[in-house]
Amino acid sequence: MSETPISADRRAFLKAGSLAAAPLAMAAPAAALAADDGSRAKLARLEDERAIEALQRKFVRYLNGAGDCGEVIAPSGSVELGEGLCTIAEDLRHEPSFALADDGLTASARCACRVERAVAFTGDTTIERMARFEGLGQHRHEERAVLAMEFIKDREGWKIARARLV
């Protein structure tokens, strides 16, 4: 699959896109469709962009307990986020990246995140036994990771094909 980066800077792209999208959307039915000068494709890509960004936000909200992630995962999709994930939040100090395939049917995105995990010490190693003995049955810690996501578009719209923390 070849992917053409729309922008290395999704936030910049979306910011610019939203400015452009408002007049475009208002004008689209008459001007863009009639002229078919590529505006339809641009509009479609913008809509895809927005749909994916919303999907990503929803996924992160759901991971934080707001809903069932299964709703946004493709039937054949996979999620590999490691054990004990408690919370996840985008790290806004880093720019995310986004790429939409030429055919408009797949996309990928990466964003830096702060992840909080709780690891339960349930094993029979001495160090786990002693940690439990010390009253530390689990440990919560924050780590930095990159949420790497792949998206697929089907008749129902965009879904998450794969999400993993790397």
Partner 1 sequence: MALEAYPSVPLFRYPYTQLTEAQIQAGLASAAQAGPSSRSPLERDLAGTTLRIVTDGAGTLTWQFGEGNRVTFEGATGGYGALTLDHVTLITHVVPNSTRAWAIAWDRHSNLATVFELWWGGGPAPHTREINRAVWHGYVQGGDGDPPAERHTPTVRMEGRAYAWTEDTGLRTIEYYCSYTYTHWVELDRLKDNRGYSAPADYIQLTEDLYLFARVEAEFSGMLQMYLVDSNRLQSAGVRLGFNGADELEYYMFRGTAEWLGQNARFQKLGDFSASPIPIENAKKGERRIYRPVATMDKMTPEEVNAVVASDTHVFDRPSPMAGNGTPPSGALATRSFAVEYDGGPRMEYRFVSADQLQWRKDGRGDWRQAKYNAWEVMPGAFIFGHLLQGEPNHDCHIVVADLDVGLATNFHGFLNTPYFANEAGAETLFGKVVGQGIPDPGSRRHQRTRDLLGRAFTWEYAPGLNSMHLYSTPNTTSWIIPNAETGHFGTEWSGTGDFVKIRDQLYFARWCEEACNGTLGTLLLNMRTMHDAGIGYHCGKNGLSLSAVGAPARHAGKFEVDKFFGPDAWRTRP
> Which parts of this chain interact with partner 1 (CB under 8 A)?
117, 119, 121, 123-131, 133-136, 138-139, 141, 143
Determine the length of the chain: 166
- As a whole number of angstroms, the distance between CA 158 and CA 130 comes to 48
CB of 11 to partner 1, least distance (A): 31
- As a whole number of angstroms, the distance between CA 139 and CA 22 comes to 48
Residue 40 vs 140, nearer CB to partner 1: 140
Q: How far is CA 137 from the centre of its chain?
A: 32
CB of 133 to partner 1, least distance (A): 6
Residue 80 vs 154, nearer CB to partner 1: 80
CB of 129 to partner 1, least distance (A): 7
Residue 54 vs 130, nearer CB to partner 1: 130
- As a whole number of angstroms, the distance between CA 56 and CA 159 comes to 9
Residue 18 vs 138, nearer CB to partner 1: 138
Residue with tokens 């054949």: 76
- As a whole number of angstroms, the distance between CA 125 and CA 16 comes to 55
CB of 23 to partner 1, least distance (A): 50
DSSP one-letter code for 72: G
List all residues 6 or more positions away from 130 whose beta carbon is below 8 Å from its beta carbon.
none
Residue 42 vs 164, nearer CB to partner 1: 164
CB of 83 to partner 1, least distance (A): 9
